[in-house]
Structure 1
Amino acid sequence: MYDLVPVFSYLFLKGRCRNCANHISSRYIFVELLTGCLFLYCFFALGISALFLKIVIFTPFLIVITFIDYDHQLILDKMLIWFAGAGVVINLLLNFVSVLDMIIAAVSGGGLLLLIAILTRGGMGGGDIKFCAAIGLWLGLKLTLLTIFLAFIIGGFVSLLLLILRIKKRKEFIPFGPFIAIGAFTAFLYGTQIIDWYLRIFLNR
């Protein structure tokens, strides 16, 4: 139990297992620090509120899915089932997103990526499609579509940068799940402001 306290246990144990003395990957403390920093940022952005409760459940799923996809190019179905189920439950309990909006968003988000996968002949993975469908159950239609838009913008920019820096080669696979997660987190916190800004600047509304 004492060895499972985030960050502090790693520092106290000096990065080694208490029993076998094997090195513990620094990935653990990085993920723990990242999660804590994001929680703190969300607290300052939202305060103690129902939205804060929602995002502290939402964010750890995004982090876990991001790192698994980054390491293994795989988004696990069992993770997505829990993720989708949690979104439905919290929206029903706290009345954030209507059932109809959740259904439309899930079908639209997953369907859009499925269409892209068909048109690009496999340029999008099945895990990405299901991930966007699950995000639809959390965010509703508008923020889900914004999530996908942001994911492509961020993904395109990062991929281009990796190619320029020669960290990745042209035909080398770059997982899309992390970009979906970043887009979803951004849309959750700032989606309404981004949409309002877009309508005001480009459509004069």
Structure 2
Amino acid sequence: MDAMDPRALYETPNAGRLMPSLDESFDGVVLLGHHAKAGTRNGFLDHTWSSASWFEYRINDCNVGEIAIEAAWAAHYGVPVVAVSGDAATAAEARELLGRVETATVKWAIGRNRAKCLPLPRAHEEIASALRRAVASIGEFKPWTPALPAVAQLTLYRSDMADDLARRVGMERVDARTVRCTVDSLLHINPF
């Protein structure tokens, strides 16, 4: 922490709440060190939320990953995602989903568990460059806002994983491994 910028505020995650300090006063969200959604070919450590249990996540029938979940959460406050760093597949996913977003590609997958990575100083410079571009054009970004009410649907790897979720109030069992529900707020875009 002693190498961190003294002008910035840092916060540790709060169990149960994504981005606990986020509110309408923020100009943008930066997603550092992200991975492509589960099932992405040539995505290094591709996953969505849990590589142990989540197989596919959909919002309004659109297959999405953590970038979308976090972008929707931020959109509740009217805050756009302005920059994303990760591998090439992550950068492509961010641009496809968000449109106008700055990206920093710091690695290229050779398979799910292998990647060619930039040397750390070059990776830091790529990220810093993306952040400088984002700050310079901060008013040009728009929040990614799925239509509400939204249908959130999760397919898990095994049926027993869906058994537990299906018991929750408001959940509908779609098939052996899939549950879904309708949410009225972007704060609840990940009810699982």
TM-score by length of 1: 0.28
Task: Report which of the two has the higher share of helix.
Answer: 1
Higher relative contact order (CA 8 A, sep 6+): 2
Task: Report which of the two has the higher share of strand.
Answer: 2
> Over alpha carbons, which structure has the higher Rg?
1
